[in-house]
Amino acid sequence: MSRILIIVQNLPVPFDRRVWLECQALLSEGHQVAVVCPKGDGDPPYQVVDTVELYKYRPYAPGGSKAGFIAEYAYSFLATAWLTLKARRSGRFAVMQACNPPDIFWPIALALRALDRTRFVFDHHDLCPELYESRFPDGPKLPYKMLRALERRTHRTADHVISTNGSYRDVAVNRSGKPASDVTIVRTGPDPARLRRGEPSAELRRGRRFLAAYIGVMGPQDGVDIVVRAADVVVHQLGREDIAFTLIGKGDCFDELVALRDELGLAGHVEFTGRAPDELVARILSTADIGLSPDPKNPLNDVSTMNKTMEYMAFELPVVAFDLRETRVSAGEAGTYVTPNDVGEYARAIVKLVDDEPRRSRLGKLGRARVEKELAWSHQQRAYLGVYQRLIAGRTATARTGG
C-alpha cells in the first residue's frame, strides 16, 4: 500500500468531481490518499472524508487582473507547500499528483523527489497559456511566454503526464517535448451509476413548460454571459415565455452575471443557484429538457474537454454548444452545434430543440449510450490506475537496487 498526495488549486475537494473520482480509484487499489486544496464555504482546515485526508487552506482571489493572478498563485504555492509538509508528517509519499491550473507546483515535486524519491504525476486539466490568451486577448506577450515556460517545466519534471484529451496530449508531446510513452489520456468521464436521470420535479420549471440548464464554472472564458444574452433573445425577441433557465455554479463573473440578468429584465426567467448540493443538481438535470454548453470559441475552449457536456449526456440531455473541436469529440451526435460565438443563433437553436421532442429524446439517448460505452469513468479509471501501477512498480524496483 502506497501513500499518494494530490494537489489542487482551483477547486475544493470533493467538489472537484474529477479529482474525487481519482481519489476513489486510488482507494480501490488500497492506497492511502491525502489532498491539499483550497477550502470551500464552511470547510474545516482538516477533515477525513471516505478515508481521504483533506488539508485545506483559505482561498485568496484578489481579482481577475494579471497582478491579481500572480498574487493568488504565489499565495496558493506557499499555502500548498506548507500543507504538503504538514501532510508528510503522517508518512512519506510514493507519488505526488499536481492538477493544474496553475503550472507552479513542480518545485514541490522536485523537493519530494530529493527527499523521498517521490514520483511526480502531472494531471493536465487546463492549458494555462491559452487561458491567458483567452482572458487577455490583447495583453502583453511576456506573461504568455512565462506561462509556456512553466508549462514546459512542469511537463518535463513530471515522471508521467495525464492528459484529458488528445489535443492536450499533443501539447505535451509536440510543444513540451515529452516522450509519447510518458503521456496517457484519461478523460473526465462521468459515473453513469451516480449520474442518471431520475423523476422530474415540476416545481423546478417555475411554472414554465421547458427548462434549459447550465452547470459549471462562471469565469470570463466560460460563456455564461452568452446564456443570459441568449435568454434575452429567447424571451424578448422570440417571445418565448415558456422556457425557464437555471444556471448552477459560481466563479469570478457570478455577480456580474446576476447584474446582467437583472439589467435585461430576466429575473423571472433566469435563476442562479450558486454552487448546489449534488441532490439538487440531480433534480435540476433530471427535470431539464436541454443542457447548455455556451463555451465561446477561443484558444483554450476549442481544444478543451468540458465536463458539463458529459454530465448532460449522462442525464440524457441533448447539448446545445458552439462548434468546437473537442466538444464535438465529447458529445458526438448528442449535440446541436451552432456557429461559434453567435448569440442569436444559439438562442434560436435552444428554441428549435425544445420544440422538437422526438429529436431531444433521440439525442439524449445517444448521449447516454456514449457515456456508458465509451466515456464513463469506469473506462477511464483503468488507464488512470495503470499510470500509478507502472510508477510505483518502477519506484519499488529503484529502491531495491539502491538507485
pLDDT in tens, 77-88: 999 999 999 999
Instruction: Name the band, by pLDDT with cuts 50, 70 and 90, for residue 53.
Output: very high
Q: How far is CA 119 from CA 18, 160, 161, 343, in A?
A: 21, 9, 11, 46
The angle at the Cα of 62, spanning 56 to 65, to the nearest 5 degrees, equals 130
More confident residue, 163 or 1: 163
Cα radius of gyration rounded to whole Å, the chain: 21
pLDDT at position 64:
60
pLDDT range class, residue 65, cuts 50, 70, 90: low
Residue 266 near residue 228 (C-beta atoms within 8 A): yes
Mean pLDDT score, 157-176: 97
User: What mean pLDDT is predicted for residues 143-166?
Assistant: 96
Q: Identify which has the larger pLDDT, 111 or 221.
A: 111
Q: Is the pLDDT of residue 403 over 70?
A: no
Give, in order, the Cα–Cα distances in Å from 75 to each of 9, 157, 245: 11, 22, 37
For 62-159, list the strands marked E by DSSP.
Answer: 95-99, 119-124
Alpha helices in 126-234 (DSSP H): 128-135, 141-157, 166-170, 224-232
Question: What is this structure's pTM?
Answer: 0.86
pLDDT of residue 252: 85
Specify the pLDDT at position 191: 87
pLDDT at 66 exceeding the cut of 70: no
Cα(231)–Cα(268) distance, integer angstroms: 11
Question: What is the average pLDDT score of the chain?
Answer: 94
Other beta carbons less than 10 A from residue 389's beta carbon: 11
| CA triple 122-29-12, angle to 5 deg | 50
For residue 355, what pLDDT is reported?
A: 97
Predicted pLDDT at 399: 56
Q: In the chain, what percentage of residues exceed pLDDT 90? A: 84
Q: Phi, psi at residue 249, to the nearest 5°? A: 130, 175
pLDDT per position as a tens digit, 180-220: 999 999 998 888 999 999 999 999 999 999 999 999 989 88
pLDDT, residue 396, reads 62
Instruction: Mention every residue, 6+ apart, whose C-beta is less than 8 A from residue 168.
Output: 124, 127, 185, 303, 304
What's the confidence (pLDDT) of residue 70? Answer: 82
Residue 67 predicted with pLDDT over 80: no
Query: Quick one: DSSP state of residue 296?
Result: P
pLDDT in tens, 117-135: 999 999 999 999 998 888 8
Query: What per-residue confidence (pLDDT) applies to 282?
Result: 97
pLDDT for residue 136: 85
| 380 in Cβ contact with 260 (< 8 Å) | no
- Which pLDDT score, from 0 to 100, does residue 113 have? 97
Query: Is pLDDT above 70 for 402?
Result: no
Q: Average pLDDT in the 265-273 region?
A: 97
The whole-number pLDDT of residue 61 equals 73
Q: What is the per-residue pLDDT for 384?
A: 97
